[in-house]
Amino acid sequence: MATPVDPDFRARLAALNEKFAATVPGTLVKIRAALNECQAGGEQPSQAALHQLHEVLHGVAGSAGTFGFTVFGQEARRVEQLVRAVIASHSGWPPVAPEVEKLLAWATRDAKATTFE
């Protein structure tokens, strides 16, 4: 395994960062699809739809920061926690959907941005 003293470490890390960056558009499509599924459920999405949305957000939250997408990961974690609360309480969906929309709009503009605006 590469270490910071390995001369190829930075090159390998850069390659992994580029590989992650290439997956971001597809990830945004998955988030959008999961959101659409949640919105198809009306006032309160099905637990299955919520779990699907939670899963994709959890994946972003857990990996984005590692590859230089720190704010994307932080915001995905924040929204993931909102979704988790809806799953637990079986209520409270309406204010969460706009937060997912904001995350998608921001990440579509620049998922590697250092501020969330």
Q: What is the pLDDT of residues 31-58, one digit of tens each?
A: 999 999 999 977 899 999 999 999 999 9
- Separation of alpha carbons 33 and 109, rounded Å: 18
Q: Choose among 70, 77, 80, 79: nearest CA to 115.
A: 70
Q: What local confidence, expressed as pLDDT, does residue 3 receive?
A: 58
Q: What local confidence, expressed as pLDDT, does residue 107 receive?
A: 97
What mean pLDDT value characterizes the chain?
A: 93
Residue 107 makes CB contacts below 8 A (sequence gap 6+) with 24, 28, 72, 75
Write out the H or E segment, with its range, that includes residue 108. Answer: helix 96-110
Q: What local confidence, expressed as pLDDT, does residue 41 receive?
A: 73
pTM of the model: 0.89
Averaged pLDDT for residues 102-112: 96
| Percent of the chain with pLDDT strictly greater than 90 | 79
- Separation of alpha carbons 88 and 27, rounded Å: 24
Residue 88 makes CB contacts below 8 A (sequence gap 6+) with none
